[in-house]
Amino acid sequence: MVAALTDYLGQTLQGDAFFLFVDAVQNALPNGISRITVHNSVKHLLKKELTRWLLVETCWRLAGNINALVGSKPVARWTRQENFEWIPGQICEIQTIKKHGQLMHEMSIQSLSGSIVPAKLNQLWSLKKTSYLATYRNEKGLGFGFGRSRVNRRGEQTGRNLFYDVRQFYGLRCYFLLDPKKSQPDPVAIEVGHTAATMNYNRTLIVARDRTITSCIKGLPDTQECYHCPYGTDKCVLATHAKTYTIANCSCCCQSGFFDPAEREYSTMCVNCVFTERKK
């Protein structure tokens, strides 16, 4: 969809340019979506210069709400949350920090559809909550998809797809319930939910990352767990972080180590020192 609209990049969308843009957006969408619905979904762009980010954001929002558009419901840019709403999301960043004297996992979740797309949600999970959610199942038996520990009489672990590290949550999907009373000025989620589709997606990813079941697709030894791997999703679809680590000398420990190119706050520290620094 973005590719079909790149001719408008750099243009100020006003007058005929805006109306032509609306026509182009409608043509890029599936049949059956009215022009007035498209117009009301992109009218926030009127008289603005179309940057690549504005175009990507708009296309993502429209593509993530096709059913609403087909039903003649405009999907304007999110400004406030009017009703409770379940939003499908994918965990896209994880950091362990110390807050109020306790270690917490800061989870960044990319919305995949719904009123807030493409905004991200941020949640703080305690260590206890993280472990609980890993193996939780609702009344339909649905959850994130990690297996439960099973030890036989000989003390052998027979469980599979087990949860060991918070980084295993990276890339997993679920639903988040937005609370309209709390979602000001930003969307706030109060519950986590699951469907058969999200659990099946997660289980496929979890199994592919489990070295006791599946060999590494990059050819690394079975002792190399995905959550300790330097490859990012830019080089491996099973990775547990976004960017592949580089190697440099750390300003903190003065040793050669792995660096996360996505790190902004402690860009001169290796990933191990960053992890330690955030827990202080």
Per-residue pLDDT for 118 more than 90?
Answer: yes
Taking Cα atoms as reference points, which of 168, 175, 125 lies closest to residue 146?
168
Per-residue pLDDT for 155 more than 90?
Answer: no
Q: What average pLDDT does this structure show over 128-139?
A: 96
160 pLDDT tier (thresholds 50, 70, 90)? confident
Q: What average pLDDT does this structure show over 140-144?
A: 97
Per-residue pLDDT for 144 more than 90?
Answer: yes
Domain ranges of the chain: 3-70, 85-209, 226-278
35-42 and 16-28 helices, crossing angle to 10°: 120
Structure tokens at 245: 């680590």
pLDDT tens string 27-73: 999 999 999 999 999 999 999 999 999 999 999 999 999 999 999 99
Cβ contacts of residue 231 below 8 Å, gap of 6+? 218, 239, 244, 245
Greatest CA separation found in the chain? 77
Per-residue pLDDT for 216 more than 90?
Answer: yes
Beta strand extents in the chain (DSSP E only)? 85-99, 102-111, 120-126, 173-178, 189-193, 246-249, 256-259
Helix (H, G, I), strand (E, B) or coil at 17: helix
